[in-house]
Amino acid sequence: MKDRLFPLSEKFFKDHVMPLIHSHHKRPGRPPKHGYYLFFCAILYVLRTGISWRDIPVCFGHWHTVYMQFKRWSENGLFWSILYQLQQKKQVQLEIVWVDSTNINVHRHGGGAIKKKVNSP
């Protein structure tokens, strides 16, 4: 179960990911309560499983805190930069394994109806 929640070891995280976080913009203020390791593993867990942010396990901390950290890292490009640099070093392999799509059949007359125009004075 621990491997599913924490796909990276703390040693790997400290050696390969933390330098990337520290080299990027350092936010002023108090350091995170749970540490960047839990944030990173929580984000990977959500992206890997596809669950909603509110459903992350309690061991990662409050869902809103994790979501806001992901939002900050995504907006300033840090998260995707980390994944890209780890992929360049052959530390992680990013690929789409399975894409979920839903096909809904539409009635044969349901797709191309002409829209009525409203005449404006």
Q: Could you read off the pLDDT of 9-55 as tens digits, one per residue?
A: 888 888 888 888 887 766 677 777 778 888 888 988 888 888 899 99
User: Angle, to 10 degrees, between the axis of helix 36-49 and the axis of helix 63-75?
Assistant: 90
- Residue 103 is assigned to a structural domain of this protein: no
- Residue 117 is assigned to a structural domain of this protein: no
Q: Name the residue among 68, 74, 71 with its Cα closest to residue 34.
A: 68
- Residue 81 is assigned to a structural domain of this protein: yes
Whole-number pLDDT of residue 54: 92
What is the total count of domains within the chain? 1
Residue 1: pLDDT band with limits 50, 70, 90: very low
Q: Which range marks the domain in which residue 64 is found?
A: 35-92
- Residue 14 is assigned to a structural domain of this protein: no
- Residue 19 is assigned to a structural domain of this protein: no
Whether residue 64 has pLDDT greater than 90: yes
- Residue 67 is assigned to a structural domain of this protein: yes
Which of 22-31, 66-75, 77-86, 95-104 is the least confident region? 95-104
> CA–CA separation, 101 vs 98, rounded Å?
10
- Residue 85 is assigned to a structural domain of this protein: yes
